[in-house]
Structure 1
Amino acid sequence: MESAGIATLFLGNVLKIKRFTPLIGTVINLIQTDVGRHIGDINVRLRDVDFEGDVARVLDTLLPFETPVQTHDGRWFLMRVTPYRTSDNFIDGAAITFTNIDTVKALETRLAYAGRYSDALLNAILNPAVVFDDDLRVVAANRAFYELLRVSPEQALGQRLQTLGSRQLDLWELQERLNELVLTDAPLTQYVIDLDVPGTGTQKIKVEAWTVLAPDGTQALHLMTLEDITAVVRSVSRMGEAFSGDARQGEQER
């Protein structure tokens, strides 16, 4: 156990210290003369952890337990508590190991920050916007998108675009265009659909979508924006011009 470089503590059935590896000092203040003492008498340098209670529960249920824990000096460990069996299958206490996971926690923090940053960027887009994967499943969206379809993030995340809300995006031609985008990475531009907007009725919506590539050049995700151009189309119609379904015409009128 010492050569493995893992901080390990062995406790007896009455939670008295039996033995430990030197690295346990990074988590718990122990010296050799502490052998035989009750763990409750020792300063366990962990934040918000019922250490004695966790060990007692494992000995009572004989079910292993693990959880991330943090020391008072800010280091992170994965604490795993397992019943300790002797060679004759007798439960002789518990073995507690602490594996350093500082690198993992640092990565989690960076990913969480990146997620908040991405959400902020999405919400800075005034038009409804949604990020989806190759299966057309929602990865993220902005508030305008959720409001447009009258859905919550919990109802949308991980779901296919065509199943959202009252299936307003379940349009066969739109699905074909998005699937083509996934296969070819060719952007979808100047495409107009009739969208049933809850509380408003059918609106003319310009759809644009493109692929977002990862830094290494591999395909990652896709971004789609939805812009209401109903007013533009009505203006064109009042002028007696036929609307062709190409948003360029409306854009020129604007």
Structure 2
Amino acid sequence: MKKKLTATCLAVAFIFSATLASAALVTQWSYVNDAVFIDWSNEDANQDYTVLSPDSRTLSWGVPSMYSKTKLQSSLVIDGPVIGNNLMTSEAAVEVISITHHNNLMSSSYPNLASGRVEATVEFTPLVPAGLPLPVETTYLDFLFFETLNSNVATPMDIFVLTDPGATSGAFDYDGYTYNFSFLSDGFGLLTGAYHDYIVRQLGVDTDYYGWLASEDGSTSAQFYLGITAAPVPEPATMLLLGVGLLGLGLAARRNKNN
């Protein structure tokens, strides 16, 4: 009886290891990354003096100042979509979409942009080993915008604040693995010093704020990067088999001890 139980436990252990071995780690991906503006509001809590382009990738706002050299509205421009096949699991992140703030001199007599929402999507397709395109992953980036005074020496740059920095990451399961992806940027980061203090005065909450500083009367771009990592996830049935196997081994050990 003892030999039969031990053999059963070994068989369960073999099934468990074979199940894990059958899951193929995707080491290379192709991807399509895009983003569009889906909502926004000005300082008067409406959408007056704001314009969205037909492709929803350029949001313009404000009324040019009489002193403006360009006579153009300020704007945010999303560069997309971006398509590639060079994304490697657990290796260096790759360049995807970028966003540029074109900052022109606006009249303070009219409302400027106050907040906005971006819908960002990414579609992954396994390349090595090959597979079908996976469902599109969608995340929403909400931001606040503060148009600072050009004459303010302490905070000369305009400020974008992400209301939920954690929304720049996500995860999905595929063929026995959980893949975690995240968007990084060389423009967005922790806002400190006078800029942090300015936001606290505006919002009345003293906490960490993450965002992007854009230069006055010029153009500032933030480049995003996409990275992906993986971790194996045993199937529920496999976990049940493993539990039975461990229980059997425990009983076998207990009987052996009693004998």
Q: TM-score range by the shorter chain?
A: under 0.3
TM-score (norm 1): 0.21
In our comparison, the structure showing a higher alpha carbon Rg is: 1
Counting helix residues as a fraction of each chain, which structure ranks higher?
1
TM-score for the superposition, normalised by structure 2: 0.20
Higher strand share: 2
